[in-house]
Amino acid sequence: MANLAPEPEFQQAVNEITVTLEPFLAKHPEYRKALEVVQIPERILQFRVTWEKDDGSLAVNRGYRVQFNSALGPYKGGLRLHPTVNLSILKFLGFEQIFKNALTGLMMGGGKGGSDFDPKGKTDNEIRKFCYAFMQELSRHIGADTDVPAGDIGTGGREIGFMFGAYKKYRNEFVGVLTGKGANWGGSFIRPEATGYGLVYYVTEMLRDLDSTDWKNKRVLISGAGNVAQYAALKVIQLGGIVLSLSDSTGTLLASDPQGFFAADIADIAQIKLERKSLTAFSGAGKYTWHEGKRPWTLVKEADVALPSATQNEVSGEEAKALLKAGVRYIAEGSNMGCTQEAIDVFEDSRKSITSLQETKGICYYAPGKAANCGGVAVSGLEMAQNSQRLKWTPEEVDAKLKEIMINCYNTCRHTAIEYAEGGVVPSLVAGANIAGFVKVANAMKDQGDWW
């Protein structure tokens, strides 16, 4: 394979998959060729985006779409608008998306895209102008049966609306080409909540399997304060858990009250984030402490669950050790590749150290993002299905389907790990997720002549 050193995030994602696939590949060496092929995107689109600022001056950004794999269906994955966007990050996200989408059980391929455009500090008019300019080129390469982008960091309902309007004008068709649309013009109920809710539904199965327990009085550390973190926090609170923290790029808000965050607090924070402000704008009336520049993982002496829900590589090896020391028994990624490889090694080593299911103290049961946070793209898939049928399901129907998908995803990861992975009486969910997703995609690719 080519040297991937200039693409560190992508190389990290490939390495993580490769290492955990090794027990399976040792038994089925013919799949090594499939692993070599699947690492190369089917297509990468890069383009210039020029748009006009409110003062009349010209601005230019880079636009991307990585159409990684279509073996299971149309390319599916978000559009990220953030200054840090580059090809390495989008390739890592697209690569992960292939296997994440496979784990939902829905017919979706994997892709990712976006731009180094920063929506922060821009007016609605400037964001509209950018979205129309961005879609002028992207619209040539996507479609309801080809590639169906969605929202991601920096791309919320407003941006999806502008992009959909642009696509409709350029292509003269009203089709389900984007997901995350407005509820009254083709969107699905539960889509905003889906990633956070799905994350909690997945961990619910982990709690039940490892300790025969539930969320009641579980102390939960959550990073991030965006869509995923907000809805994960609300669902944890609804199920009886105690949310200890939320964070953003400026620092961490830690609950002083033993009851943790309340639903009303999450609503206030959601409004702050809608206004694109920092968490420093939140006034907690003395119930919270602010930790400038800190992530939540080292700030408490005791916790039960950790849900990284901000961005990639947000839990280091040292922070993983701090979580173990604080008694955290469960960690599941709401963000994509939220843990560094060093952190994953800490969690996996703790799992391997357990010799009996009757004695699981000292373990941190770890779930990777491609499994634990696949609820968002799952409901995007359900939105595609509703669009195809010109139907709209009720919130209760969508939520029930989401819960079923997350339970099936967990069982697939667990049973695949038991069948193929090695090391420890507690199954490796990361190995199970990687092997199950890879095998499903690789078999479809072989049937279609992509490798032999």
Of 219, 222, 295, 296, the closest CA to residue 259 belongs to: 219
CB atoms within 10 A of CB 268: 15
Structural Rg of the chain based on CA atoms: 21
> Residue 270, CB half-sphere, CA atoms under 13 Å: how many?
18
Rounded distance between C-alpha atoms, residue 190 and residue 409, angstroms: 18
Q: Which residues contact 216 (CB under 8 A, 6 or more apart)?
A: 239, 240, 241
H/E run at residue 146: none
Return the C-alpha torsion angle 180, 185, 188, 191, nearest 10.
Answer: 30
Tokens read off for 24: 């399976």
Catalytic, 169? Answer no
Rounded distance between C-alpha atoms, residue 206 and residue 330, angstroms: 8
Of 170, 28, 148, the closest CA to residue 78 belongs to: 148
Q: Which of 76, 91, 112, 273 is catalytic?
A: 112
Rounded distance between C-alpha atoms, residue 110 and residue 103, angstroms: 12
Rounded distance between C-alpha atoms, residue 252 and residue 222, angstroms: 10
Q: Burial of 88 by CB count in 10 Å (0-12 exposed, 13-18 middle, 19+ buried)?
A: middle
Rounded distance between C-alpha atoms, residue 325 and residue 38, angstroms: 38
Residue for token pair 């109920």:
189
For the chain, give the number of residues.
452
Rounded distance between C-alpha atoms, residue 45 and residue 52, angstroms: 23
Rounded distance between C-alpha atoms, residue 7 and residue 9, angstroms: 6
Residue for token pair 């089917």:
42
* Pair 437, 100: CB distance under 8 Å: yes
Of 333, 326, 363, the closest CA to residue 348 belongs to: 363
Catalytic residues: 112
